[in-house]
Amino acid sequence: MDPIVDSILSGTAKKSPKLYEVLGCTKDASGEQIVAEYRARVRNLHPDKTGFENEEFVKTKLAYETLSDPGTRKIYDLWLDSPLPITFNEFSANQEAIRQSMHWAMAPKTPMVEGIQENPSTAPPMTKWKDQDRYESESVRKFRDYAV
């Protein structure tokens, strides 16, 4: 089989959150935390202080530019969670095509019908047949009442 397909199916294409690690924060850090961590790290690395632009300063600056913008950060988080073994630059350049072709692979985060409970264990018990072999549930009731 193809090595790319194998890595996707086996789940070995997981990436480490390198930009978060450069700034020393976690994936669920707030925007204020990212700014604070960037400022704390860049203080001693800035070219004005050292006289030259070192590699660590460039990495820190790239991490800050990516994670401080909410749109770019969202794309970066999607890339981290995606099983595709491609770089972040490839992912962000082809993000729309990837989203269109991979939308089926990710579970929806919101219920498709408004008002239906997601967790079946908390749903009220429903009788399958009632009223002369008529199926009853909350979604069927909403459908009959033109609420859906």
Chain mean pLDDT for the chain? 76
> Would you say residue 131 has pLDDT above 70?
no
Residues 142 and 86 in one domain: no
pLDDT at 82: 78
CA 91 to chain centre: 13
**In angstroms, rounded to a whole number, what is the distance separating the alpha carbons of residues 135 and 17?**
48
Global pTM reads 0.58
Quickly state the pLDDT bin for 96 (edges 50, 70, 90): confident
* pLDDT band for position 36 (cuts 50, 70, 90): very high
Domain that holds residue 76: 3-105
| CATH number for position 33 | 1.10.287.110
Residues with Cβ within 8 Å of residue 37, at least 6 apart in sequence:
23, 24, 25, 29
Q: How confident is the model at residue 108 (pLDDT cuts 50, 70, 90)?
A: low
Q: Are residues 99 and 138 in the same domain?
A: no
**Helices (DSSP H) in 51-144: which residue ranges?**
55-68, 70-81, 88-93, 95-102, 138-144
Q: How many domains does the chain have?
A: 2
pLDDT exceeds 80 at position 121: no
Same-domain status, 24 and 83:
yes
